[in-house]
Structure 1
Amino acid sequence: MPLPFLTADRAFDETADNVPLPFDDRDQWRRPYRPGPWRVAAAALLLLLASYILFASVIIAFAGALPGAVACGAGAALVIAAALRLLRVGTWVSAQGVRRVGFLVTRTVPWAQVVAVRTTQQPVRWLGLPRTVQGQALMLVCQGGETLTAPLLTSHSADFLARGEAFERAADAVEAWAEEGRVTS
């Protein structure tokens, strides 16, 4: 079964002359990096929890308590939806613009409104928790000097913790998409 979210980083690596935008269909939203091991591990643990909840709902259904089985099944469905949403969190790019997908909120900024995309040294959240550490963040500056409150990428997020080279490649890829998007807009 093809897993397209795993091919983004590989496509960037395998280009012969390291073309920043190695994709044929630039209108499709894609993440220019692979999900990190921390994000995948958290989603896997959530799916493991969902399997236990589903097994419990089957046992409850065989015991004859259908309302409890339905409640457990609904809880498992919510856990599965949370795991899938956790895998979608990140920065996505296309010819239309850049999309910052959060767990609950998604914000899309067209390339025409983007003034600059730059990497800065600043305190960043460690694995999305309230604790901050010194790291790198990829910030998006829009017209009028407005900066997105949440950075597009950070070096200590669930995707890039202890993967500095992957952060640099992803930041370069997003900057290349921004440059290409501003030229064509």
Structure 2
Amino acid sequence: MADNWVRPYQPGSGRWLVIAWEAFALAMLSWATVRQFDLIGHGVRVVACLLAAVWVVGAWRILQLGVYVSADGVLIRGLLRSRVMTWREIASVRLHRATHRLGPWQIESGATVLLDRLDGATVNTELWEKGVDFHSRPTLFRAVYQEIRTRHRTAAEPT
């Protein structure tokens, strides 16, 4: 598989807001843990270092989240795992309009890009029209979707 993965979009500034929120939440967790267990000295340092390490790893993964493409396939980096698929494994690239039902109301949550595999499985790309990367940039979302479709179509053409 290729080593030249390219993310066909620049991440949104909302990622930094998420990272800052996580830092605040982990600081509050650290404070609550120290208070709850009456930690002092080394205990405070251990809790602080452990949660700081969790934050650093989490922040790095948040910055790396996304869909990357190459001539060989697509790489989907999620928060906990990454997945690589060759273009030959993908039957189609499509948009899915997600809606949620709340009693008698339908609440639309925007479009997501899905990959339909040849084996019948569907893979979520984590590209979401209302997400932190595309919320204020809907034309970029469509452009990224078209880029992925074009790369898939080009890879499927016989040479």
Q: TM-score, normalised by structure 1?
A: 0.64
Are 1:173 and 2:122 matched, yes or no? no
Deviation at 1:143, TM superposition (A): 0.7
| Alpha-carbon distance, 1:66 to partner | 3.2
Taking the aligned partners of 1:70 and 1:174, their CA distance within structure 2 comes to: 45
Residue in 2 that maps onto 1:99: 75
Aligned twin of 2:108: 133
User: Please, what is the CA RMSD of the aligned residues?
Assistant: 3.0
SS at match of 1:119: strand
1:92–1:100 CA contact under 8 A, matched in 2:
yes
Structure 1 residue 27, shift from structure 2 partner: 4.5
Deviation at 1:41, TM superposition (A): 1.7
* 3-state secondary structure, aligned to 1:133: strand
1:143 to 100, 118, 121: 118
The answer to whether the 8 Å contact 1:36/1:158 transfers is: yes
- List gaps (5 residues or longer) in structure 2: 30-39, 101-106
1:169 aligns to what SS in structure 2?
Answer: helix
**CA deviation map 1:64-116 (0-9, x unaligned):** 92343133112111111111111111111122211222111222211111111
Matched residue of 2:122: which SS?
A: coil
With over 3 angstroms needed to count, the CA separation of the structure-2 counterparts of 1:39 and 1:146, relative to structure 1, is same
Quote the residue 1:3 is aligned against: none
1:152-179 deviations in Å (ceiling 9; x for gaps):
4221122111321110111111112222
Distance 2:156 2:20 in 1: 38
Q: Paired residue for 2:135, among 161, 168, 173?
A: 161
Question: Aligned equivalents of 1:76 and 1:49: distance in 2?
Answer: 11
8 A contact 2:89–2:117 mirrored in 1: yes
1:65 aligns with 2:41: yes
**Count of residues in correspondence between the two structures:** 143
More strand by share: 2
| Change over 3 Å in CA distance of 1:133–1:163 after alignment to 2 | same
CA contact (8 A) 1:89 1:101 kept: yes
Change (3 A) 1:44 1:119: same
